[in-house]
Structure 1
């Protein structure tokens, strides 16, 4: 049985007070909180077997290597990658995206086309713009609808024999929209284009099966998945990872080095130059285990209850408008109240112990579409409660009264 009170006991930070008020943490789309079991894994690493990996014959190095590679296998199984070496451990989603963008600079020619969606985070826009500037490729955009969904008919019209790459987020960080990525992937493959899906916002709520999706690349970050910051993953099909050149040169990613020529290591080490975030990778595996113990079906069901309840209660506030109203969405609500600036609302909420995100959420094209400076974004996780939503609603009413 899903027991939110018991789950909340796993998160020490939820016992905090902010300005004398109990913490209500509704900024989960930016960073999720960390359960004690993950914190313990971090402490255990530094307390008992802190050493570099893959390079030492001594006991600590072997123990650290085994734990790190065990974590890679946990991540492989979670995402159902065919092979463990198809999981590249990176510093996060942005690093993973840039790794692929850098590699594709070798393949693109002037006039080739790249497609992104109008719902992207800046980290899934800027690297492709830089790639286009470098190669002469053309960036095209799938337009969005008023409800925050993509205009899929337009996407199909954009695809042609010049399309080499398609990039889309699985879930919009600003609106919570769940995009039809299977349709996007299948259509792109019909014109022999590769597809990268940004799963940073999806993976806390959805357990993706990369083989079933038939996706070429899938990226995500541990800190959205109850893990530490500074670590993430790039899944790539073996054939694509073998084609791409290394992203960085240095230790670990080599097979042999002479001053005349260097040969590169096999997967995954070809893309993992230098000393990695060893502790972070191990803790990422622990976080994956923790979430799977709760179960993603249970998480999705409970978070949807929070989304429905929160939406219902927010819409009772006069002058409040929600952005992103598609049926398929995760537990994210972006809104504004009348002409009040979202920053001002967020500042008052903080004084009342409630953490939300305000601004453009690194998704300025979305804000430009709606002709607004930004939104207040409340994002719920499986450790939040309806009682916290009630506190949030009361605080919002107070903020509106103060700022009217």
Structure 2
């Protein structure tokens, strides 16, 4: 269930739109499905159809605005408007069900708690099969202003609970470390015919450099080798100490992104905490033995997929073949979205995986004739890890992360296909490279 909250000043204008034909004649049979406690029967509140079929909203708008006119300190934007929409795959809900959902959202948002006779006045309007609109005036009937603080977080939490209660599709935001591109960033990328937004390019390159480095200096050097601009941030209280960084693609008028704007675990303090566990790296040894060790570590990783992502990002950069490299970069990005938490880094218990990621980077290209079978087994080990993670996330109703994990497993088995014919489905023929979100073929070349 997707909520969308806005503020406004005019109740009449909002009601006129909700009961009107819509921008594309999409509004059908507008009617009330719920109202505040003590409002009386809905039929008495329903706007009357006037001359030539026009609605008369004056009575409903007047009764909603009465607390605002008599309020002690009414807000400048006294109208609170929330739309609630179900997923296209959900069943059609009845008016009674929508009315109960609206009342529950109002209660959990703190605007009209159950049993509070002095709460704000509100109505819920339905003019479509899959959504309703809740119209609220933000002054309580006891004349006190309801400021609706933290309303978005509370409504989101209410929707997650209602999805579970009514068996609806979970469409809440995925709990991953990824910071998605904003709408202006996506529009700019399409306008300039770039394959992906700058934020996505920078996050992928930064995550590879973080996995391959063992300290801030090497991290910044790897970013510069990939053709990125790097701007360390110096401490304002301790001269000479680097406390953060920003990166940008080398273009005219570059747009800079701090590590925290790319992903929550890419800030410099968190990267330093990770590097402290990987500085004592063992000797590289033979590449065959290195891949065998990587296979064992991935198999032993269980469902702690975050550290395995570091190894996969490095492996994706060093396998031969541009097509396979693109697929593996997409798989690494999908597994990263599925495995990493959004607000805090997981307890890192697989330091050996990060050590191996660094060693794979130091040894260079993978996949020569001597270790083809070992590389195949490594990719399949990653695929099995992704499939197990998908089952875990699906069992926990984390459907976005489960979907990303399944996509990672599919891409990994696809990449393993050319190494072992018949193992997986073939590459998708004729894919438009401009639509490939991981089309960076070589370091330093960005769309």
Regarding TM over 0.5, the answer is no
Query: The TM-score by the shorter chain falls in which range?
Result: under 0.3
TM-score by length of 2: 0.23
Report 1 or 2 for greater relative contact order, CA contacts < 8 Å, sequence distance ≥ 6: 1
TM-score by length of 1: 0.25
